[in-house]
Structure 1
Amino acid sequence: MIIEKKARTYVPENLDIKWEKLEPLFNELLTRPINSVQELESWLKDKSELEAVVEEDFAWKYIRMTCDTLNEQLLQDFQYFATEIEPKIAPISNNLNKRLVESAYMVELDEEKYRIFIRSVKNDLEIFREENIRLFTEIQIKQQTYQSITGAMSVTLDGKEYTLEQASVFLKDPNREIRKKAWEAITTRRLQDKVQLDTLFNELLKLRHQVAVNAGFENFRDYMFRALGRFDYTPHECYKFHEAIEREIVPILSEQSLKRQEALGIDALKPWDMDVDISGKPALRPFETGAELIEKAISCFNGLDPYIGERLSIMQENHLFDVESRKGKAPGGYNYPLAETGAPFIFMNSANTFRDLTTMIHEGGHAVHTFISADLELNDFKHVPSEVAELASMSMELMSMDKWDVFFDNAEDLKRAKKDQLRDVLKTLPWVAVVDQFQHWIYTNPDHTTKQREAAWKQIFTPFGLNFADWSDHEEALENLWQKQLHIFEVPFYYIEYGMAQLGAIAVWKNYKTNPEEGLRLYKEALKLGYTKTIKEIYQTAGIEFNFSAEYVHELATFIKAELDLLEAE
């Protein structure tokens, strides 16, 4: 099925996305008379269509640039948008928001339908500052530098060049010397750019702090809580979440690490001992090529639900995947919604590992979310907060496990895969807590030095187990481990959501195991809402709680541990 975009009713078809073409449309929206609630709703729909067109154009510029960071023309196209279009749209968007809230007809809009949207508009108006437009442009350009630096990283092992993602496959090798050699090569390569990345981050820190000060905030942390629309929780509750993870999850992982050490028969776990399968068997290899990964993911999703499987088939037919790792490609993985098309693009760096399987399923969960909410009336209704977006993806990882037989030829490998997944669920939570708490420290101490930042990272990381490895003789690698987390550079404060959503996903899976049909139905009903309800209401629709108290963490951790114990006992 080839995707056909809905016919435009306001923006001319095939409009060239240049400022001189966009400006008249924005100006028309600014000056159009609005004399009834019906005209206000029509104005909102036209504004939404224009925003979706512009968003999708930016999406493709970002996608193409990350697919080939060495292509100078693609970089220039991205920078044109960032420097020539976005800065000019920002003040107009603010004035359009003013038009809405100052309209005499806003009070006549359906309160239930528009309440979340209007709340967000008012929040954006309160923190908007004209002087920050230039800073946002500078920040966006600098953030892209991280992709260029890390995308160019590669190592040579036994005479062959590998991207860091490809080289990380050797960390699963049963031969400890091979693992050590790969880890040291990867780490040495990362540390080659340590100073460059520190300099880049110091520049970003200064710019971000100035944005916060300009907007009337004491620090960037407090600014970002408002900018991200975190209406449902506070920084204090984040600290409570960190404490709950330290108390409830770290002891389980500590116990697991002792089992790992005993199984491997070594005196101490080193960083290169953490990914190898303790059974002594070769690493799981659920597919051989990117094309096979996509085919098997479609089969897996079809087994779960025909609608869900069909979404990935549609993406395949429309060439909306770039999954294999190669030099010059930006690191990481993402699902990028195409606002006008109503479909997404999945980007990842597959090196034919088990982790790539779960990345595909994770991004596939995001993709389903994009499709299922695509028909919501306004573009803003689809701008879901990360706490909800990650619930969609992380729940998919767990619910899909019973269909992973399409990836594995025998029951033993399937069981190994499920155990790895549940261990990863537990491992995710402390790392999320560390990265989040680190960012709280960074931005509430904006005048810190590079050395102080390294010390703070280690101090924060220590109570959460330091990944349960012995870092003796590798102090520099430990102190700079944060540099591999692209979120810190590119999307500050977007990380605690993974922890909250991971808890929610465990609860969704718990419901699914009790009643698969009902659990999946509630999951899809929650995704259909987009961002037309509060986070708490969306979680309630999914049949779960938006709750990260110590008691709730304990309940869900106990459930996951019991499931893991069952698999290990088989």
Structure 2
Amino acid sequence: MEFQIPERKYLPKDFKVKDWETLKPYFETLLNDEINSGKELESWFHKLSELEAVVSEEMAWRYIKMTCDTSDEKLAESFEDFVRNIQPHIAPYNDKLNRKALSSPFLAAVKEKDGFDIMIREMEKDVEIFREENIPLETEISSLSQKYGAILGGMEIEYEGKQLTLQQAAVKLQSTDRELRESIYKKIANRRLEDKSKLDELFSELIRLRTDVAKNAGFANYRDYKFKSMGRFDYTPQDCFDFHESVKEEVVPLLNEIAKERKEKLDLSTLMPWDKAVDTSGKESLKPFNDAEDLTAKTIKVFNKLDPYLGDCLLKMIEMKHLDLESRKGKAPGGYNYPLSETGVPFIFMNATSTLQDMVTLLHEGGHAVHSFLMNDLELTEFKNPPSEIAELASMSMELITLDHWDVFFENEEELKRAKTEHLEGIIQTLPWVATIDKFQHWVYENPNHTLEDRKKAWNKIFDTFSDSLTDWSDLEEIKDYLWHKQLHLFEVPFYYIEYGMAQLGAIAVWKNFKDNPKKGLESYMEALKLGYTKSIPEVYEKANIKFDFSKENISQLMNFVKSEMGNI
């Protein structure tokens, strides 16, 4: 892969973001620049883009380093410093710069260029919702949000004299020893429950602050504010409710079928929560790789089989040491691909142990990474920030279009079939969970003054709506009450979750196209990703030769396709 980090044209090559005082002059210069033509306005946008890229990458690295080691107080302080002492100063300047651009008499000419209309639409939205009094509130929210990762990053359980992270312990839930599974499940759940009050208080405080932000901006609730803030121009809360209803009617029955089959194959009188991850044939859990190095090498091989360009993306990341994959004490939970706006080479973080889910996670985050590389030729930083409905399409599609090459991980035909079946069942299980978390968020922010008891009741009602009817939660009520505590999106990135459902539907459609015509299917997928956010969400989906559609009819058709493919395995 021929790849060069772009040279700076506006900021000095050796400039590093240390504090606000060293950064401020560059914002001031942009604010005071005279713009006398469309060409000069375009040039001004390029300067702003470079500044945004440099600032964004600085924040990214502080976040990455902090999540890689939550026990290092200096790393936490560095991120906190950015959130408290740099970001709040940038916010009012961003608003002034937006207003300067939007008031330019040359805006109409620039707006005709590809992508600029989408960017300007975002700027208009940002101006509409910006309130000076929200800056300290947003600072407080950012600071509080990082506490979630620190709390979960410190959670461990004891097993056979060793301390295991919750991610490492969860691997034991695939054991064929049912007593062991039960023991591990309860240890993990009870460890989370130790911090239930701490997490409840944190969430309540976040709800309070977020609601204040919404009220200040003139919105009835934080949900409505967040839809505007996230630039959801292409769908409404009602579309989300329709999605919930479609999933309840078209997907939950499939969930029941899977649970019924699992109960029968395992020959159980009662299906318990710790029976969900074990292989139904009674075999030990799949182990697709040995360690992070093996996982990376095999993933590159799979990517190469689709297109050598895809493998080259990961090789570049290895070369630049932009991968941190193995689970260890002190790492924040979860996994992510963090785009790095200036260098153009993203960073993948995850907590791999040795499971099928870990393998899929790297394929998923690898999809995000490939998306970052494919967008590198776009003109402005803003064009490279697609909304999650597009970003998650990139990652979830990658999971599916690589399926035919999973023999790289599983040489044994029987294990390969098991892996594919588990993954496709996982898709059927994902959609109801997405609906659960999303519907819960709608309720939380529509009813911000709720009590902890109200919250518990609402959670259980929603959870029951989208769960299979066979799993027995008797004597596990408290564990069930707090299952939502494990979902970091609720704490760190509110309302960012429905996108997984929408993108999952799109990914199934991409996969269907790929199965019909691999060459054309892959080409359409990559061409769509190259657009970044220069087109609307429906237009990007159309470029991928799929529909942005979460109607009951579409979900039914896609689920039938998944069932058909499961039958072909």
User: Normalized against structure 2, the TM-score is what?
Assistant: 0.99
CA deviation map 1:226-249 (0-9, x unaligned): 001001111011001000000000
Match of 1:473 among 467, 472, 475: 475
Residue in structure 1 matched with residue 317 of structure 2 by the alignment: 315
SS in 2 for 1:161: strand
Match of 2:500 in 1: 498
Greater mean alpha carbon deviation, residues 466-475 or residues 203-212: 466-475
- Code of the aligned partner of 1:13: K
Alignment partners' CA distance in 2, 1:94 and 1:467: 50
2:11 maps to 1:11 = yes
Supply the AA of the counterpart residue of 2:63: Y
User: Structure 2: how far apart are the matches of 1:163 and 1:180?
Assistant: 17
Gaps of 5+ in 1: none
The match for 2:153 is: 151
Contact 2:69–2:332 (8 Å) recurs in 1: yes
Contact 1:244 1:549 in 2 (8 A): yes
Runs of 4+ in 1 over 4 A off after TM superposition: 1-4
1:330 alignment partner in structure 2: 332
- 2:357 corresponds to: 355
- Structure 2 unaligned runs (5+)? none
> Structure 1: which amino acid aligns with 2:100?
R
Over 3 Å counting, the alpha-carbon distance change for 1:12 and 1:478 in structure 2 is: same
In structure 1, how many angstroms separate the alpha carbons of the residues matched to 2:237 and 2:505? 18
Given that residues 168 and 327 in structure 2 are in contact (C-alpha distance below 8 angstroms), is that contact kept between their aligned partners in structure 1? yes
Q: Is the 8 A contact 1:15 1:21 kept in 2?
A: no
CA 1:468–1:520: 2 relative to 1, 3 Å: farther
- The alpha-carbon distance between structure 1 residues 544 and 412, as it changes in their structure 2 partners (threshold 3 A), is same
Is the partner of 2:151 in helix, strand or coil?
helix
Question: Deviation per CA, 1:153-188, whole angstroms, max 9, x where unpaired?
Answer: 000012111000000000000110111111011001
Helix, strand or coil at the partner of 1:278? coil
Aligned-residue offset at 1:524:
0.3
Structure 1 residue 566, shift from structure 2 partner: 2.2
* Displacement of 1:279: 1.0
The corresponding residue for 1:61 is 62
Which whole-Å CA distance do the structure 2 matches of 1:305 and 1:411 have between them? 24
SS at match of 2:386: coil
Corresponding residue for 1:222? 224
1:468: Cα distance to partner? 5.0
AA aligned opposite 1:487: H
Q: Kindly state the Cα deviation for residue 98 of structure 1 after the two structures are TM-superposed.
A: 0.3
Contact persistence 1:300–1:403 (CA under 8 A): yes
| 2:92 corresponds to | 91
Distance in 1 between residues matched to 2:250 and 2:470, nearest whole Å = 15
1:487 matched residue in structure 2: 489
| 1:1-40 paired onto structure 2 within 5 Å | 4-17=4-17, 18-40=19-41
Note closer, same or farther for the CA distance 1:509–1:260 as it changes in structure 2 (3 Å cut): same
- Is 1:344 equivalent to 2:346 in the alignment? yes
Distance 2:483 2:296 in 1: 31
Paired residue for 1:514?
A: 516
Query: Equivalents in 1 of 2:189, 2:410: separation in Å?
Result: 32
1:116 counterpart letter in structure 2:
I
Match of 1:259 among 257, 261, 273: 261
Alpha-carbon shift at residue 463 of structure 1 (Å) = 1.6
Contact 1:150 1:331 in 2 (8 A): yes
1:545 to 532, 541, 547: 547
Distance 1:518 1:365, change over 3 A: same
Deviation per CA, 1:321-357, whole angstroms, max 9, x where unpaired?
Answer: 0000011100000000000001100000001111000
- Other-structure match for 2:270: 268
Kindly provide the amino acid, as one letter, of the partner of residue 440 in structure 2: F
Secondary structure, counterpart of 1:109 in structure 2: helix
Rounded to whole Å, the distance in 2 between the matches of 1:470 and 1:119 is: 49
**Aligned-pair distance for 1:115?**
1.0
Structure 1 CA distance for aligned equivalents of residues 488 and 3 of structure 2: 32
Secondary structure of the 1:323 match is strand
Q: 1:2, CA displacement in angstroms?
A: 9.7
TM-aligned CA distance change 1:112 to 1:10, over 3 Å: closer
Alpha-carbon separation, structure 2, partners of 1:336 and 1:352: 22
Match of 1:185 in 2: 187
Equivalent residues of 1:179, 1:273 under 8 A apart:
yes
CA gap of 1:327–1:467, structure 2 versus 1, over 3 A, is farther
Give the residue type in structure 2 aligned to 1:287. F
> In the alignment, which residue of structure 1 is the partner of 2:388?
386
Q: Which amino acid aligns with 2:75?
A: L
Displacement of 1:3 in angstroms is 6.1
> Which has the larger displacement, 262-271 or 107-116?
107-116
What one-letter code is carried by the residue in structure 2 that aligns with 1:14?
Answer: D
Question: How far did residue 7 of structure 1 move?
Answer: 1.0
Q: Is the 8 A contact 1:3 1:341 kept in 2?
A: no
Q: CA deviation at 1:55?
A: 0.2
* Residue of structure 2 aligned with 1:417, choices 419, 431, 443: 419
Tell me what 1:173 maps to. 175
Q: Is 1:56–1:339's contact at 8 Å kept on the other side of the alignment?
A: yes
Which moves more between the two structures, 391-400 or 313-322? Answer: 313-322
Given the superposition, is the C-alpha separation of residues 190 and 549 from structure 1 closer, same or farther in structure 2, using an over 3 Å criterion?
Answer: same
Q: Please report the RMSD computed on the Cα atoms of aligned residues, expressed in angstroms.
A: 1.0
Distance 1:456 1:365 in 2: 35
Q: CA deviation at 1:565?
A: 2.0
- Distance in 2 of aligned mates of 1:343 and 1:526: 19
Q: How far off is 1:408 after superposition?
A: 1.0
TM-fit CA distance, 1:16:
2.6
Q: What residue identity is the alignment partner of 1:8? A: R
Preserved CA contact (<8 Å) 2:111 2:120:
no
Q: Is the 8 A contact 2:334 2:350 kept in 1?
A: yes
**2:75 alignment counterpart:** 74
Aligned-partner Cα distance in 2 for 1:255–1:282? 23
Deviation digits for residues 334-388 of structure 1 (CA, Å, limit 9, x no counterpart): 0000000011000000011110000000000000000000121110001100000
TM-score, structure 1 as length reference = 0.98
The answer on whether the counterparts of 1:286 and 1:357 sit within 8 Å (CA) in structure 2 is yes
**Which residue in the other structure is 1:237 paired with?**
239
Q: What letter matches 1:305 in structure 2? A: D
- Post-superposition Cα deviations, 1:99-144, rounded to whole Å, max 9, x if no partner, equal 1100010011142511111111101110000000000000000000
- CA spacing shift, 1:566–1:415, aligned 2, 3 Å: same
Partner of 1:304: 306
How many angstroms apart in 1 are the aligned matches of 2:146 and 2:152? 10
Secondary structure class of the residue paired with 1:181: helix
1:246 corresponds to: 248
Deviation at 1:79, TM superposition (A): 0.6
Q: Distance in 2 between matches of 1:539 and 1:4?
A: 29
Structure-1 separation of matches of 2:465 and 2:210: 28
For the residues of structure 2 that align with 1:434 and 1:96, how far apart are their CA atoms?
39
What SS does the corresponding residue of 1:447 show, helix, strand or coil? coil
Which shows bigger deviation, 462-471 or 546-555? 462-471
The residue aligned with 1:523 is 525
> 2:473 is aligned with what amino acid?
W
The more displaced of 138-147 and 10-19 is 10-19
Label 1:469 to 1:304 Cα distance change in 2 as closer, same or farther (>3 A).
same
Matched pairs, number: 567
**Cα distance between partner residues in 2 of 1:152 and 1:365:** 29
Amino acid corresponding to residue 26 of structure 2 in structure 1: L
Identity of aligned residues (%): 54
Q: What is the CA–CA distance in structure 2 between the aligned matches of 1:446 and 1:539, rounded to whole Å?
A: 35
